[in-house]
Structure 1
Amino acid sequence: MTGPSPLRALIADDEPIARRRLARALARLGGVELVGEAGDCDQTVGAVRALRPDLLLLDVQMPGGDGFAVVDRLAGALPPVIFVTAHDGYALRAFEAAALDYLTKPVELPRLAAALSRARTWIAASDRAERIAELQATVAALRAAPREAQAPSRDLWVKGRLGHQRILIDSIDYIRAERDYARLVIGSQSHLIPETIAALAERLAAFGFLRIHRSLLVRQAAVRGLGRRRCGGLVARLPDGTELPVGRSHAQRVQRALGVRPAAE
């Protein structure tokens, strides 16, 4: 007796690293065939129409629009959708109530397994058209929500030996890239999180974080001064004496952001 056919899934996310992580998680769980990947809205719409996946794992924020735009554009051709995003604001409760599921990054295996189980149940049900209509209605409601409801969260969650810990964004001094991860530095403490420096730079710009180097973000309010290294490059000085190198390609923008008149290199 053969088991159920694997779910044919499509991953849509603008970050290749995020796509790889999610693909590895799906492979670990089994029962899913990854039929394709997409990196922006147009690619996602085209891939869904061409590949007709059973399930779409969709990021909310992508170039060329967003996940909501993908839902709108696919209309009657929309497969079941699991939203996967780094942002856990007001939309979380609404999507859990009306959409198939809404997962926040980093996605944990038990949570992903539960979402896949929910997808299989939905695909087997007879009210799929009704559920799609509910999802589209939810998207419309979210877009009409007051802007203050969309305020980004002012904290990050990090996972440690004792469980999850809330880190206030305003307490972070700087963030350093460590390959596919990032290290949040808070005084003498640090926490490693599974996000890229590029994703964090975009996410934290609204909180006054400044990209000063390809591998460094610094909270602008934590910078106490700019200095010069012997080799001529700039450094950003923190109150505890830490000196962070400023990349040459970032130097003039960093000086302008800090209110310092840019000097010729």
Structure 2
Amino acid sequence: MKTLIVDDERLARNELRRLLDNFPKIDVIGEAANADEALKLIDDLQPELLFLDIQMPGKNGFELLSAIDGKSPEVIFTTAYDEYAITAFEYNALDYLLKPIELNRLSEAINRIEENNHHPETEAPRRDTNKVLGENDQVFVKDGEKCWFVKLGKVRLFESMGNYVRLHFDDQKPLVLKSLNSLEDRLDPNTFFRANRKHIINLPWIDKIEPWFSGGLLVTLKGGDKIEISRRQAIRFKELMSL
């Protein structure tokens, strides 16, 4: 994949190029230190992917994208600041990497590109609200002033809070303005299971299962959350998890 690195910091460009050496399918065909240089290279070289810094002298990364004539390359933003995540999402960014970039996060971003290339039918429209979301899908989450791009496989639990749903991942518990029912319709039922009226659990996160009252089950998730599976859902759970 023909790739262009756009960053005003030479050390940042060098470090990213070094990390990208781990991915043979990524062919770095050029570097630019500002938007004007990048626009000329984009026109001349027609890259398929940009690793794009946001804060740069002159035009910033968003202004650069707005100035591109014709079809824009795919974009992965690289920045030291998390406050631009909302705007990055509006520009249909594939990912949003915070500096210093870690190899495992870069690998997730590259895998996401490869998944899109292998399944182009899921690529458009990018905001298809009917698409079933699996553990490898990454979603944008905003709660107050905090923003995340989080892979759904890291979300161990979805908890209904009235008209909101609380997502449990790492040590974070942000709220999103969704009902649990609407969220259930979007999630892959082979990975995300409706345990009861208030909870959807991520099945690979289950650590222990115990019999519970009235034919129900009690599951303990990795991390310690204990969630009751209702009697009716316990029947479905056993069918789903049996050979």
TM-score (norm 2): 0.47
Higher helix share: 1
TM-score (norm 1): 0.44
